[in-house]
Amino acid sequence: MTLWSGRFNESMDETLWNLSESFSFDHVLYAYDIEGSKAHAAGLAKVGLLSAEEFATISSGLERVAAEFAANTFVRSEVDEDIHMAIERRLTELIGEPGRKLHTSRSRNDQVATTLRLFTRDAVGQVSQAVLGLVDALIAKGAEYPQAVLPGYTHLQRAQPVLLTHHLNAHALGLLRDVDRIIDARHRMNVSPLGAGALAGTSLPIDPNFTASQMDFESAFINSIDAVSDRDFVAESLFALAMCGVHLSRIGEELVLWTTQEFDFASLSDAFTTGSSMLPHKKNSDVAELARGKSGRLVGNLTSVLVMLKGLPFSYNRDLQEDKEPLFDSVRTVLLVVHSLTGAIATMTMNTMRMESSASDELLVAIDIAEALVADGVAFRDAHALAGQLVGRAVAEGRALSVVVGEDPEFAKFLFLFDDRGALNRRTSQGSSGPESADHQAKQIAELIDSARRRLAKGAKP
Ligand code: ARG
């Protein structure tokens, strides 16, 4: 007999039970559901719907149920449809009559919305901390090689030399935006739906603001239908996680490239590489490939929740139960990827000689010839064409660009542009890849990291 079976004569068909039960995956919410139930019980006690004694008995009973889950000794009963029913059933077994009062003025509809918000608020906080750890690792890796240069690419063709720090900072900035987005989303989700009941509230004298503050929500719901129907916070979190996953996959792709024999810019430590079952010499960058590959399911999880929500009539519909597995999966996946990428990057060695030699490709100086002509008053389009002709000649004749430039009476004065690191040092514009901008960028990024950590700590539950 389930807790709701009063009006039914027949028990549920097994096939429907298998379709409908969610305990098998929502049991991970136990701590959040118990937190919500404690707040709810405190609210009932405050308005006299529970006596002080009943409240104390319920609170300690809930603690006992939590302890069983924590110790892995909780035994699921065959009537436990979901985590909410399971906890209430066990509570009542443990404490008797007062347990039967806990669900007063509450529905699973406001309960599950509350529980899931508590979970999500916590989970996205953990993800943000982890992502900031990866940002730290990227910055620290750059700091190990402050002078290292590599070619910057467009279309995966060598374009202009850049500092390694500049390249790693660009990845860090994407991740910092992810954290920013998550913190914004966390603010919007920080509203308590508890007290909305099934969809329309209750005739009993409850105080949703009080229960909201018990759970450190910033406010309580404004509209009971919205409270039980809204899963924006799930979709928004899944988007932030998917976007982060896309950033992680772009880092992954570059690590895959950098660790090939062809690029040979970096090597991962043994602890973060895998071998081949057949080829004894292989050292594979699976960590980077998985960072790339896992992003697919993150995008899929977002899509599945958006499609599930689309067209749902108000208010609660059972479809909403489908919000959980994608959310759990995305949180777990991002944490797995972020933690291993952090370790892989922290222990990665850069082959600075090889990066430098690729960055010293003379053709990368072509733009400096064009810009030097502009400084002499030539229109950029003409300058571009002149520099392009020099490159064309060098390539066609199979000679170094500096040789072609040096031989040309008109351009020989630009030979100094080929000086070691000249091209890099000439990048002086704001936010550019040159050394002058590097210090400023480092300060700006350090400020962003600090402010993300401050915002994160501020909204977090103690
Ligand atoms: N397990 C359900 C869910 O995840 C809880 C809410 C059930 N409510 C209901 N009216 N059947 O959404």
Residue 117 lies in a domain: yes
Q: Is the pLDDT of residue 32 over 60?
A: yes
pLDDT at position 462 is 38
Distance of CA 51 to the CA centre of its chain: 44
Q: Is the pLDDT of residue 414 over 80?
A: yes
* CATH number, residue 21: 1.10.275.10
Residue 257 lies in a domain: yes
Distance of CA 89 to the CA centre of its chain: 36
**Which residue has its alpha carbon closest to ligand 1 atom 11?**
318
The residues facing 154 across adjacent strands are 157
Residue 109 Cα, ligand 1 centroid: separation in angstroms?
Answer: 6
86: nearest Cα among 113, 110, 62: 62
460 — pLDDT class (breaks 50, 70, 90): low
400 — pLDDT class (breaks 50, 70, 90): very high
69 — pLDDT class (breaks 50, 70, 90): very high
pLDDT at position 281 is 86
**Which residue has its alpha carbon closest to ligand 1 atom 3?**
321
| 166 carries an active-site annotation | no
The residues facing 150 across adjacent strands are 162
Q: Which residue among the candidates 24, 51, 269, 276 is catalytic per the annotation?
A: 276
Within this chain, do residues 261 and 324 fall inside the same structural domain, yes or no? yes
Within this chain, do residues 403 and 454 fall inside the same structural domain, yes or no? no
**DSSP string covering 270-311:** GGG-B--SS-TT--B-HHHHHHHHTHHHHHHHHHHHHHHHTT
Supply φ then ψ for residue 279, to 5 degrees. -95, 110
Q: What is the pLDDT of residues 142-190, one digit of tens each?
A: 999 999 999 999 999 999 999 999 999 999 999 999 999 999 999 999 9
Q: Is the pLDDT of residue 264 over 90?
A: yes
- Give, in order, the Cα–Cα distances in Å from 242 to each of 298, 303, 330: 5, 10, 8
Going by the DSSP 8-state scheme, the letter that residue 196 receives in this structure is -
pLDDT at position 422 is 83
- Pairing verdict, β 349-350 and 266-267: antiparallel
- Which tokens is 191 given? 């509203």
The residues facing 152 across adjacent strands are 160
Cβ–Cβ < 8 Å for 142, 165: yes
Task: Return d(Cα 269, Cα 373) in angstroms, integer.
Answer: 46
Residue 211 lies in a domain: no
Greater model confidence, 324 or 421: 324
Return the number of other C-beta atoms located less than 10 Å from residue 300's C-beta. Answer: 15
With the most atoms of ligand 1 within 8 angstroms of its CB, the residue from 80, 112, 118 to mutate is 112
Burial class (CB in 10 A: 0-12, 13-18, 19+), 238: buried
Q: What is the pLDDT of residues 207-262, one digit of tens each?
A: 999 999 999 999 999 999 999 999 999 999 999 999 999 999 999 999 999 999 99
**Residue appearing with tokens 């970096």:** 266
Within this chain, do residues 227 and 276 fall inside the same structural domain, yes or no? yes
Q: Is the pLDDT of residue 399 over 60?
A: yes
Within this chain, do residues 155 and 52 fall inside the same structural domain, yes or no? no
Burial class (CB in 10 A: 0-12, 13-18, 19+), 280: exposed
Residue 324 Cα, ligand 1 centroid: separation in angstroms?
Answer: 11
Q: Pick from 104, 139, 173: which residue ends a domain?
A: 104
Residue 434 lies in a domain: no
**Which residue has its alpha carbon closest to ligand 1 atom 12?**
321
Residue 368 lies in a domain: yes
Task: Return d(Cα 265, Cα 92) in angstroms, integer.
Answer: 62
With the most atoms of ligand 1 within 8 angstroms of its CB, the residue from 3, 318, 319, 323 to mutate is 318
| 276 carries an active-site annotation | yes
Burial class (CB in 10 A: 0-12, 13-18, 19+), 424: buried
Residue 436 lies in a domain: no
Task: Return d(Cα 393, Cα 306) in angstroms, integer.
Answer: 55
Within this chain, do residues 403 and 345 fall inside the same structural domain, yes or no? no
Q: Which residue among the candidates 155, 203, 277, 281 is catalytic per the annotation?
A: 155
Within this chain, do residues 95 and 118 fall inside the same structural domain, yes or no? no
Within this chain, do residues 151 and 259 fall inside the same structural domain, yes or no? yes
321 lines ligand 1 (CB under 6 A): yes
Q: Pick from 74, 104, 134: which residue ends a domain?
A: 104
Residue 202 lies in a domain: no
Task: Return d(Cα 170, Cα 217) in angstroms, integer.
Answer: 35
Residue 332 Cα, ligand 1 centroid: separation in angstroms?
Answer: 23
Residue 39 Cα, ligand 1 centroid: separation in angstroms?
Answer: 19
Q: Is the pLDDT of residue 1 over 70?
A: no
Averaged pLDDT score across all residues of the chain = 95
Three-class DSSP category at 158: strand
* CATH number, residue 349: 1.20.200.10
Domain of residue 26, residue span: 15-104
Distance of CA 313 to the CA centre of its chain: 30
Within this chain, do residues 279 and 233 fall inside the same structural domain, yes or no? yes
Residue 214 lies in a domain: no
Q: Is the pLDDT of residue 3 over 80?
A: no
Going by the DSSP 8-state scheme, the letter that residue 106 receives in this structure is -
* Side chain identity, residue 23: F
Within this chain, do residues 275 and 406 fall inside the same structural domain, yes or no? no
* CATH number, residue 379: 1.10.40
Within this chain, do residues 395 and 289 fall inside the same structural domain, yes or no? no
- Which tokens is 390 given? 């020099």
Within this chain, do residues 181 and 290 fall inside the same structural domain, yes or no? yes
Q: Is the pLDDT of residue 8 over 90?
A: no
Residue 118 Cα, ligand 1 centroid: separation in angstroms?
Answer: 16
The percentage of residues in the chain with a pLDDT greater than 90, rounded to a whole number, is: 90
458 lines ligand 1 (CB under 6 A): no
Within this chain, do residues 121 and 262 fall inside the same structural domain, yes or no? yes
320 lines ligand 1 (CB under 6 A): yes
Q: Pick from 69, 104, 139: which residue ends a domain?
A: 104
Instruction: Name the domain count of the chain.
Output: 3
